[in-house]
Amino acid sequence: MPDFRFLHAADLHLDSPLRGLEADVSAPVEMIRGATRVALGHMVDLAIEEKVAFVLIAGDIYDGDWLDFGTGLFFSNQMRRLTHAEIPVFAIRGNHDAANRMTRSLRMPHVTVFEHNHAHTHRLDSLGVAIHGQSFADQAVPDDLSKDYPRPIDGMFNIGLLHTSAEGYAAHARYAPCDIQGLKSRGYDYWALGHVHERQELSQDPWIVFPGNLQGRHIGETGPKGASLVTVAGNRVQSVEHRVLDVLRWTHIDVDLDGVPDEAEAMIRVQYALESALRDAEPRPLAARVTLSGITTAHAVLAADGLRDKILNETHGIPGEHRLWLEAVKLRTRPPVLSARPDNLGRLLTEIDAIAAAPPSDLLGDWLSVLHAKLSEALPKDHPLQTAVTGDLTAIVEQARRRLEAALADHT
Amino acid sequence: MRLANVRLERYGPFEALDLPLDPTPGRVNLIVAPNGYGKSVIRRAIGEFLFGIEARTPMTFRFGTEKMRILADVVQDGSVRSLVRRKGNGNTLAVLNGADVSPEDAHRMLGGADETVFRELFGLDTALLRSGGKELIRSQGRLGQVLFAAGGGMGRVRDLLTELERKRDDLGRATARHRSRPIWNALSEWEQAASDLRRVALRPDAWGLLERQAADSAKHLTALLEEQTAAVAERDRLRTIGASRPWLDKLRAAERVRIEAGDAPELDDTFERRWRDALEAGATSSSLALAAEADLLAAGEARSTLSFDPAWLAVEAEIDALPALRGRAQGAETDLPAVERTLAEERARASALRRELGWDEAVALPPAPIVKDAQSRLQQHPKLAAEAATAELRVADAERALAATLAEMAALPPEADVATIPDIARLLHAGGDPAARLEAGRQAVRKAETALQAALAAIPDCPLPETALRTTAAPSDAAMDAAEAALGRAEAALAQAGRDLAKQTAAITAETAKLAALERTAKLPPPDALAAARSHRDAVWLAICGPAPDPLEAVALDRAMREADRIADALIEHGQEVAQAAALRGRLAVLEAERAAAEDSVGQATDGVTDARDALSRIAHAAGGNASDVPALRAFLRARAVAVARHTERDTATTELADVTAHLTGLSRQLAAAMAVELPDISGLGVLLAEADRRTDAARNLTARRKTLSDHAATQRTVLASAATAASKADRTLADWTAQWATAMAALSRPENEAQAATSEALALVEELRATELKCEDAHRRIADMRAAIALLTAKVAGLAALSADWAAMPPIEAADAFQRRLQAERQQAARCADADKRVASATEKLTTSRAASEAAGRTLAGLRAALRADTDEAAELQLQRARSVLAAGRDAAEARRELAVQGGGLSVEVLTERCAETTAEADAARVAAIDAGHAERAASIEAAREASIAAATAMEQAGTGHQAAEAAQRREAAQAVLSRTVEEALVLHATHALLQAALDRQATGADQPLLARIGAVFRTITGGVQAGVKIEDTKDGQTMVALEADGVTRKALDQLSEGTSDQLYLALRIAALEDYAAATTPLPFIADDVLQTFDDPRTTATLEALVALSDRVQVIALTHHAHLGGLVDRLPAGSVHVMRLGG
């Protein structure tokens, strides 16, 4: 059998909006809006440049609640480029594709899509490759689909194409769960998985790979994103390379300010951290969430209005500043313990701590329900207001406690 | 902690200011100083002593930062430590002349307070008092805020509450939707973006419509194009027939001509041109031959009239060279006399110079290098002679100086032996004047003894004598601090446990009340009622099922079942209340458990206090005292430590005096021995030391002089040797010159003994003679060259004279000019003869060529006439005309066939002829016009259809690539993000406000009655009974404080109090807060800066009484500029105020 290469991608989530840069007025809106499309274009470019034998897409081409048919047409046009380059594409529908009423009816003339009623096999006899796969029929697939995948074909390079949460990742919904041992027991040479957005190599014998998504879409999807380029020689996997295809990079920048005496020192640390993160992301634009933590006497100053602007000011002059946008600034610092003070302030803070530890259910009055009635539809399901209206005030009261701690420390 | 003996050094305006503060509890320190003296500086200094001097303190304005210090005795727990605070970085607090105070120690000393606590709670001035009074009025008496304000100027908490509320409402009120507010603006943006997204998103039906539109457009376009194609084909066919008609006619006409001229000769296309060319060539060649004959005749006649003399041309090279020779000869003839005169003059000058040198013509000039060398030597001689003379003089000077130094050394006196005296004297001088040292030692012993006796007398209640006291063991500071801290912790723990127990009890009471109310309002059955009812039901059922059922039991069963159902229904109906009741019961269970734990804590804390007091008692006994409480034990230990220290100091002073006396006596003995004098009394030690110093100085001076002279002599010897070497070298150089000069004179042919001046002049003459003789040689050479040029021209002219005898007698220069003119004339004549010969040859050649061309043209014409079958040129012309018409008809027929092939659309001539016969030209033209008229309409339709098709395709293409939906979705996300953020911020602000308010309310609820009672009592004291105190009332805003009038009944809201009274209430709150603070931990000194200035005398006196009471627990330092306060102090108990007057 000839040696060949193939490209394994997953979780394209085309036209899925990038979230979190709205606070930065200088953010590259055009780039953000088209990022998932450009990343797909990069993937097609890579496949053509590397002359791969075929491309695998392990589900979630579209977003579940996405309703624009134009997204499907764009995808189809990109796949047509691969067809013109004589590169076949094999795909399965993931939970998002299955949930999307629009794209379920979309024809994909340039892609071989696996059926959802049972697993079956496509053979590429000229390469000696057998690709086994099954699409999601519905959004919720609680069963282990891999159990019913066909037996490997002797003498061929067998690939399993599967959309699954595998053994469970906290950040991802649990769909078509399976375990590594079960996948290994199928006897395939390569499992091309999708659904988990972080790149994972669950096994190298045989190879079981989540390539991650093509483009990070929010601060929960950090680091380099792309697809896996697989080289097969002598009917065995020789290498699995992660090829970066994203347009914009997301990252967390954690700055420890423990023991920092003043704001100037704090800003020096922030600037150093920003510079380092920008260097790591070169040459891509970087969307960052800056989190300040630690116990510091500068807490009150940092907690005052304008922290975001102060941090933005620290970016001026560092190399690559034009590539940086702030997704958010989170203040997790705390002042030195004030409740230990032997005066009224200390006693008041002790009282505040006691109330915050077990906030009474009527602490916030009817303000909550009045506002919630008007905003519930427009707010995300996990918004603190949605949570608070059910009676869970812990998170919001903790924020309030920190705010008070800072304000009272500042007033001293 | 309390302060005593504060001292400011180089601080602010003070170079040194002592404040003898009294730390005694129950005594107020009153500092009276005029305005501008520096009271605020003193207040600041105390703060900076406690917490460090600010890096950029303005107190450097007079003395700078150098040596700035603040010193104070810190009295704490019965001990006194003298501490000093200096300005600098890091740890700047230290024990006076001792180690640094560690941060932990300082923290302990300050009772855990920081600078903010000091500033807010322990500092009060007029402005703060006034603002505090205003805060009370603004608080409207809300107890939480009032208490907080009293606790240290934290009235701003009210501003914080207001600020939180304002910020929340700025983001958007929950009850009013205004787009100007961020929350509602973001919601509108979100709704708009969501609407836009629904509108612009491409749906499958829209895509299908686009596909159908594109297909219909393409189909319509195809139909129109086919119709257009058919019309164009018909039009082309008709145009083909129409275009073929004239060519068919022309073809038929040409055929007729060819038939009619059947016997005409067939000529090719070039024949007529060749016939015409032949006729023209014959005529042309004949005329050219005639012209050539005439030219040949004219040229021959012109040549016969021309001739020249070739002999002149044979010698033209010699004649051409004559002008150059003529020029040189003419110049030589002109210059020759002047050069000959110059030669004669230079020869005469050379002869004169030789005579002056004494040389005849036979003496050869010496070479120039020899003369130059001699001149150089003559210049060197004076310098060499001077150098030799100077060197001799230097040798003589050096010899004289050395002799003088050696003589001085020989005259110095011999050295004495004083080697040991300086060392002994130095030991005696070390440590200062011996007599003063002895006296200082004696005074120190006397002073230490006095201090010891005073310290022993100051020990309170000491059962032991001095010697026994020294054997007791005082606890270490750490042990004492630990014991005291343990007692403090135990007492604090006991107080806290008591408070916790009270809180738990109050919480249980409140929760129990809630539960009772709930059970009462919802008529809930007891918690176990349902289980009991069901148990009863089951018991009755079992009885019925038993062996002997009682009929009445059926009735009981029915009742039991009804009761169980009723209870179950009640529980179901009031499920929510049941759940709340269960939660309350659970909460009560937890609280009961916590109360039990709190009770245990109280017991444990009580045991801890007992243990701590026992430990302190043990410490007191070990140290030799009987003190029973911490202040007394501290006081005993402090006095004991002072006494022990004084005893040690007395012993140390006595020992030091004995040591000094013995040391000085021993050294005096050694010195007298070294000086060989009698040992004096210890009082004469000063005279002995003075003599020792004098002897030592004299010996040192003599040694130094001897050493100086020795060094000087060695230097002079070196100088003398150097001068002698230089003189010898100069002599040798001068002798060498003299020997070489004699040799030079011989080479110059000068007398051996000639003076150097004469030789120098002779050398100058020799150089002048050399120049003159060179000029003579040059003139002589030039004369010879001139004469040779003249002779050469004469010879050349003579050689050419044979050409003409007329010029033999001419001067050579004129003859040369004549030869040149003649040669030029002969050259011109020869050129004219050559031109005439060329014209004759050219005319002969033209004549030959034209005659040959005429003959060839005749032969060609004859051949062409034969081809035309004609004998004459006229007959030939006629034949040629007939042949031309046949040839034209052939060309027309060929052209017609070509055109028909092109225009006929591929149809043969026969078919075209047939089609033309079927219709007429007019009918075809009408048909074509009709087709053309419809063409524009069809083209417009096609263009419209094409545009429609392109538009449909473009719409499909854009549908696949557009970003409208993505843009709308992004806007929706952005709006949602802004909304999320602002709502969360509003939620946090709301929660922050609620949390703070709840905490304040709880504080107010938890405020203990003793504190409130104490506030009222102080208020009553300060107002001199005008206000009876304060009272707490429950209002809709929570608990509120009001003031009580003198009758103790009439209430007055705080915002109704006068400005002065609200200030006094604020001061009462502050005093109560200070006492409360002091009860919990070590207090700092309270500094009241001019807080009494707005009080009248009775209230000032009353306030001083309150401060005196406060000073039992907290040291009070009052600053004032009112001198009359000193008088008011007399109204207070004696010793309750320590007055310090500053600034006169």
Q: DSSP string spanning A381-397? A: TT-HHHHHHTT--HHHH
Compute the mean pLDDT over every residue in chain B, rounded to the nearest whole number: 83
Interface test with A, best of B51, B200, B973, B1015 (most A CBs within 10 A): B973
Q: Who among A105, A340, A344 is closest to B1073 (CB)?
A: A344
Residue B400 amino acid letter: R
Cα–Cα distance, B1026 to B1041 (Å, whole number): 17
User: Does the pLDDT value for residue A233 go beyond 90?
Assistant: yes
Structure tokens at A1: 């059998």
**Residue A169 in this model has a pLDDT that exceeds 70:** no
In this model, does residue B41 exceed pLDDT 80?
yes
DSSP character for A330? E
**Nearest-CA distance A314 → chain B (Å):** 23
| Least-confidence region, from A250-259, B881-890, B1053-1062, B1094-1103 | B881-890
Residues A371, B1081: C-beta atoms closer than 8 Å: no
Number of C-beta neighbours around residue B793 at 10 A = 24
* Strands, sheet with B79-86, edge to edge from the N-terminal-most edge strand: B14-19, B2-11, B69-76, B79-86, B93-95
Least confident of A107-116, A262-271, B302-311, B923-932: B302-311
Q: Which pLDDT score, from 0 to 100, does residue A106 have? A: 62
CA distances from A257 to A263, A332, B1074 (A): 10, 10, 35
Q: What is the pLDDT of residue B150?
A: 61
| Contact yes or no for A19 and B977 at CB 8 A | yes
* Spatial distance between the Cα atoms of A9 and A51, rounded to a whole number of angstroms: 16
The C-alpha of B519 sits at a distance from chain A's nearest C-alpha, in angstroms, of 20
- Check pLDDT > 80 for residue B431: no
Q: Which residues of chain B does A110 touch, with a Cβ-Cβ cutoff of 8 Å?
A: none
Count the helices and strands in chain B (H runs, E runs): 31, 13
| Residue B443: band (very low, low, confident or very high) from pLDDT cuts 50, 70, 90 | confident
Measure the CA–CA gap between B969 and B361, rounded to whole angstroms.
129
d(CA A174, CA B888): 102
d(CA B850, CA B285): 5
Is B1002 within 8 Å of chain A by CB? yes
Q: Which of A271, A185, A190, A247 is nearest to A7 (CA)?
A: A190
pLDDT number for residue B204? 64
* Residues from chain A contacting residue B156 (CB–CB below 8 Å): 411
Per-residue pLDDT at A40: 96
Residue B320: per-residue pLDDT: 86
Out of A69, A342, A400, the one facing B111 most closely (by C-beta) is A342
| B984/A383 Cβ within 8 A | yes
* Nearest one of B569, B565, B568, B543 to B556, comparing CA atoms: B543
Find, in chain A, the residue whose alpha carbon is nearest to that of B114. Answer: A341
Integer Cα distance of B76 and B3 in angstroms: 9
Asked if residue B254 lies in contact with residue B898, where contact means CB atoms within 8 angstroms, the answer is: no
Strands (E), A146-263: 157-163, 190-194, 200-204, 207-210, 226-233, 236-244, 249-256
Is the separation of the CB atoms in A411 and B115 below 8 Å? Answer: no
B319-351 pLDDT, tens digit per residue, is 888 888 888 888 888 888 888 888 888 888 888
How far away is chain A from the Cα of B240, in angstroms, using its nearest Cα?
48
User: Quick check: A251 pLDDT over 80?
Assistant: yes
Using 50, 70 and 90 to split pLDDT, how confident is the model at B961? low
C-beta atoms surrounding B779 within 10 Å: 18
* Residue A227 pLDDT exceeds 80: yes
d(CA A189, CA A184): 9
Q: Where are the beta strands (DSSP E) in A315-358?
A: 324-334
| Neighboring chain A residues of B966 at a CB cutoff of 8 Å | 15, 17, 33-34, 68
Tell me the pairing of strands A324-334 and A207-210.
unpaired
Q: Which of B202, B989, B994 sits opposite A68 (nearest CB)?
A: B202
CB nearest to B187's CB, from A71, A375, A383: A375
| Residue A378 to chain B, least CA–CA distance (Å) | 7
Is pLDDT of B389 > 70? yes
Hey, of A344, A355, A376, which one would you mutate to test binding to chain B, going by the most B CBs within 10 A of its CB?
A344
Residues 6+ apart with CB under 8 A from B562: none
Q: What's the rounded Cα separation, in Å, for the pair B628 and B637?
A: 12
Mean pLDDT of B558-580: 78
Bridge partners of B80, per DSSP, are B75
Mutate to test the interface with A, among B159, B956, B988, B1011 (most CBs of A within 10 A): B988
- Give B 960-989 residues with CB within 8 A of chain A: 960-963, 965-967, 969-970, 972-981, 983-984, 986-989
Residue B15 φ then ψ, to 5°:
-75, -40
> What's the pLDDT band for B1107 if we cut at 50, 70, 90?
very high
Q: Which residues of A touch B981 (CB under 8 A)?
A: 23
pLDDT of residue A103: 55
- List of chain A residues whose C-beta atoms are within 8 Å of the C-beta of residue B204: 69, 102, 105-106
B120 contacts A343? CB cut-off 8 A? yes
The pLDDT tens digits of the residues spanning A315-368 come to 888 888 888 888 889 988 888 766 666 677 777 888 888 888 888 878 888 888
CB B71 within 8 A of CB B9: yes
Report pLDDT for B153.
45
One-letter identity of residue B1136: S
pLDDT above 70 covers a percentage of chain B that reads: 96
A344 with B112: Cβ contact below 8 A? no
Asked whether A177 and A213 are in contact (CB, 8 A), the reply is no
In sequence order, the 6+-apart residues with CB closer than 8 A to the CB of B540 are B553, B556, B557, B560
What are B717-733's pLDDT values in tens digits? 888 888 888 888 888 88
**Which residue would you say has higher pLDDT here, A21 or B406?**
B406
Judged by a CB distance cut-off of 8 A, whether residue B507 touches chain A is no
Query: Which residue is listed with tokens 């004649």?
Result: B319
**What is the structure's pLDDT at A242?**
96
Portion 1042-1081 of B in contact with A at CB < 8 A = 1073, 1077, 1080-1081
Shortest Cα distance, chain A CAs vs residue B993, angstroms: 8
Residue in A66, A69, A345 nearest the CB of B154: A345
Chain A CB contacts of B959 under 8 Å are: 69-70, 73
Considering only CB atoms, B973 lies closest to which of A17, A375, A397, namely A17
CA A271/CA A274 separation, integer angstroms:
5
Q: How far apart are alpha carbons B140 and B1062 in whole angstroms?
A: 12
Contact: A71, B990; criterion CB under 8 Å:
no
Which residues have a Cβ under 8 Å from the Cβ of B405 and sit 6 or more positions away?
B709, B712, B713, B716
Tell me: pLDDT of A8 over 60. yes
B962: confidence class by pLDDT, cuts 50, 70, 90: low
Instruction: For residue B905, count other CB atoms closer than 10 A to its CB.
Output: 17
The Cα B524–Cα B519 span in angstroms is: 5
Select from B478, B376, B450 the least CA-distant residue to B763: B376
Q: How confident is the model at residue B27 (pLDDT cuts 50, 70, 90)?
A: very high
> Confidence class of residue B549 from pLDDT cuts 50, 70 and 90?
low
Q: What is the pLDDT of residues B658-696, one digit of tens each?
A: 888 788 878 888 888 888 787 777 667 777 888 888 888
Nearest CA in chain B to A400: B992
Comparing B185 with B432, which gets the higher pLDDT?
A: B185
| pLDDT tens digits for range B1020-1034 | 998 888 888 888 887
Neighbours of A223 (CB within 10 A): 16
Report if pTM > 0.80: no
pLDDT of residue A105: 57
β partners of residue A90: A56, A112
Helix (H, G, I), strand (E, B) or coil at A361: coil
User: Is the confidence at residue B151, as pLDDT, over 60?
Assistant: no
Mean pLDDT of B368-383: 85
Band (pLDDT 50/70/90 cuts) for residue B93 is very high
CB contact under 8 A, B969 and A20: no
Rounded average pLDDT over B278-303: 80
Mutual orientation of helices B909-918 and B204-260 as an angle, nearest 10°? 100
Which residue of A20, A355, A393 is in closest CB contact with B977?
A20
Q: Is the pLDDT of residue B1038 over 80?
A: no
For residue A399, give the chain B residue with the closest CA: B988
Residue B598, min C-alpha distance to chain A (Å): 17
Q: Cβ contacts (< 8 Å) between A109 and chain B: which residues?
A: none
How does DSSP assign B910-943, residue by residue? HHHHHHHHHS-HHHHHHHHHHHHHHHHHHHHHHH
Test mutation, A32, A62, A69, A361, chain B, max B CBs within 10 A: A69
pLDDT on residue A47: 97
Cβ neighbourhood burial of B154 (10 Å; 0-12, 13-18, 19+): buried
The model's pLDDT over B986-1020, given as tens digits with 9 standing for 90+, comes to 999 999 999 988 888 777 666 666 777 888 889 99
Confidence of residue A64 (pLDDT cuts 50, 70, 90): low
**Checking phi first, is residue B266 left (phi over 0); if not, alpha (psi -120 to 50) or beta?**
beta
pLDDT band at B978 (very low <50, low <70, confident <90, very high): confident
The rounded distance, in Å, linking the Cα atoms of B525 and B568 is 9
